[in-house]
Chains A and B, each alone.
Chain A
Amino acid sequence: MSTLFEQIGGEGAVDAAVDIFYRKVLSDDSISHFFETTDMEAQHAKQKAFLTMAFGGPNNYTGTDMRTAHAPLVAKGLNESHFNAVAGHLQATLEELNVPENLIAEVMAIAGSTKDDVLGL
């Protein structure tokens, strides 16, 4: 029985998705101000790490890590609408890559499970 990560295509899938996903996020005016940074490469790497986790891949992030990482953004007004916008771009990316619906649903469930930690709820 293969894992979600294996089924979705592992690291190759992450590589194919990250540029598409990151471009969508940067082009969305409702959330782009949360992504203002001088270090785009580091941010790109974070997106890669996020997608790896969402695809069921290996990662060592805990709920506390997610909370701590997003706390400064929560202080700047990060709320559910922003979270939903990012989740929407993740879904759109997977649809663009023709990922089967059942796998998309599994990925969205994992992403959704981070909501409370990301929003500091």
Chain B
Amino acid sequence: MPTITYQGKAYSTEPDETVLSTLRRNGVLVPYSCGAGACHTCMLHCQKGEVTERSQKDIKPALKSLNYFLACQCTPESDIEIALPDDEDVYISARCVEKKQLSPTVWRFRLEAAVPIFYHAGQFVNLKNEADWLRSYSLASLPAEDEHLEIQVRRMPEGQMSHWLIDDFDVGMHVELEGPNGHCIYTDGEPEKPILMVGTGTGLAPLFGILRDALHQGHSGEIHLYHGVRTADELYLHSNLIELAERHNNVHYHACVSGDDVPNDMQSGRAADVAMNHHPDLKGWRLFLCGAPEMVKTMRKNAFLAGASMADISADAFTLTSGDAE
């Protein structure tokens, strides 16, 4: 009978026994609820081996492609190694190969990992320095186009890590890196579906990767990207996005400035509000929401009420670590 390896221990399965049953029979506590494949509380990550089609039947395409599955629905047919969805992996060393200021408060860092990591645009990494400060940063790079990992860091008003990166971390220095994590990624299969992307501040970072990933994979549907900032000088990828929109007929870039000084060729107001005004009916749309948690929460709800299906809304909320004030 197949073996399930979880947190370093191997458990042998009984015939027709689900992963959830095997673990519980051995006194291993993992979250679960309905036992019927509906609530998704028992979602786990398969790190090695293959899970059954049935155990992935109802989950989001992004999670499916990353090998997530429902423990209560999985009767493994061969050995598998599994973990909780947010279990951390090993930290590897990464060297800074480029550092560039992109706006008054945003810096780009390009990192070379000691061991190449396999990731999808839109995922994030955890960075740790010698003082053991640990923060998550979304990747702006696209494996197919970028040699190194790219993150875009905003100087947060009382941000410990962002200040360290911007003021002290430099080319040639090392940092510990763990990843990739997250599932706010582009998945193929629906190349003609219209896409709406809304990002505030450096929420633009993962969107920049996901957008290029979609184009790289031949996405033909309309893609509308809304970047929300307070002042126009914070539109740190303005020319890159204008150029991308010029090169691709289906890409539309909307710069949104919420402060008082709005240049003529830009939208006034918060990105999410502008986006909802432009697209009041989101039935059949795919959404990517990245940045301020309040924006993500509100926009997800508004988009759902405007007809988007829950499975079509992907999000990456930049929650602050306590001690970092907004």
Known A19-B310, A40-B300, A40-B304; contact A60-B38, beta-carbon cutoff 8 A: no
In the complex, which residues of chain B have a beta carbon less than 8 angstroms from the beta carbon of A105? Answer: none
Q: Main SS of the interface on chain A?
A: helix
Q: How many residues of B contact A (CB 8 A)?
A: 17
Give the Cβ gap from A72 to chain B, nearest Cβ, in Å. Answer: 16
- When the two chains form the complex, which single residue of B34, B58, B305 contacts A23, counting CB atoms closer than 8 Å? B305
Q: How far is the CA of A61 from the CA of B298 in the complex (A)?
A: 31
The verdict on A101 contacting chain B, using a C-beta distance below 8 Å, is no
A46-54, A76-84, A88-96, A111-119: which lies at the interface: A46-54
In the complex, which residues of chain A have a beta carbon less than 8 angstroms from the beta carbon of B58? Answer: 11
Per-residue CB proximity of A42-68 to B under 8 Å, as 1/0? 101110110010000111110000000
Q: How far is the CA of A23 from the CA of B308 in the complex (A)?
A: 10
**B60 (CB) vs chain A CBs: closest residue:** A41
The verdict on A102 contacting chain B, using a C-beta distance below 8 Å, is no
Give the Cβ gap from A109 to chain B, nearest Cβ, in Å. Answer: 20
Q: How many residues of A contact B (CB 8 A)?
A: 22
B residues near A (Cβ < 8 Å) are 33-36, 38-41, 58, 293, 297, 300-301, 304-305, 309-310
6 A-B pairs with the lowest CB-CB distances in the bound complex, closest first: A60-B35, A49-B38, A58-B36, A49-B39, A49-B34, A44-B310
A residues near B (Cβ < 8 Å) are 11, 14, 19, 22-23, 26-27, 38, 40-42, 44-46, 48-49, 52, 57-61
Known interface pairs A22-B304, A38-B297, A60-B34; 10 further A-B residue pairs with C-beta atoms within 8 A, sorted by A's residue number: A19-B309, A26-B301, A26-B305, A40-B310, A45-B38, A46-B39, A49-B33, A49-B36, A52-B38, A60-B33
